Homo-oligomer: A and B are copies of this chain.
């Protein structure tokens, strides 16, 4: 079950600075970040990064977000073990969003689902279109 993850080449600090200079952080110092499984194309989650999180992500190859609720760096997988290994990172045309192509270990969503986008309308009602692969207790109870 070991998936093959393309090697990530850590860029130079100068290249990281150049990329950060093209990013337009909002008035809270944040940008939106989409995480997509690099091979299947599955959209895993949407979260936020500040400059420190983006820099750390690029320089370590492990995705780090900014937690707006905890007001701190959020190294994805630090508590749950469900890490995101970076494969590539793209900045959009107007510089206010990034796309992280990743390999997701396990599940991305805190509900234990593979991805966070699991609610949709079916037959006139809002339902869950995906089920958890692991319980929240298993994810966070260790």
What is the count of identical protomers in the complex?
A: 2
A121 and B15 form a contact (CB under 8 A): yes
What is the total number of residues of chain A having a CB less than 8 Å from a CB of chain B?
Answer: 42
> Of B22, B92, B120, which is within 8 A of A90 by CB?
B120
Q: How far is the CA of A132 from the CA of B110 in the complex (A)?
A: 38
> Of B12, B113, B118, B125, which is within 8 A of A124 by CB?
B12
> Of B45, B91, B111, B125, which is within 8 A of A119 by CB?
B91
B18 and A88 form a contact (CB under 8 A): no
Chain B residue nearest to A96 (CB atoms) is B46
Chain B residues, Cβ within 8 Å of A91: 117, 119-120, 126
Q: How far is the CA of A42 from the CA of B40 in the complex (A)?
A: 10
Decide yes or no whether A11 CB sits under 8 A from chain B.
yes
Decide yes or no whether A129 CB sits under 8 A from chain B.
yes
A34 and B19 form a contact (CB under 8 A): no
> Of B16, B42, B90, which is within 8 A of A118 by CB?
B90
Chain B residues, Cβ within 8 Å of A109: 93
Q: How far is the CA of A110 from the CA of B94 in the complex (A)?
A: 10
A43 and B36 form a contact (CB under 8 A): yes
A75-98 contacts to B, CB under 8 A, are: 88-94, 97-98
Once A11-B121, A89-B120, A90-B118 are accepted as A-B contacts, the answer to whether A46 and B97 lie under 8 Å apart by CB is yes
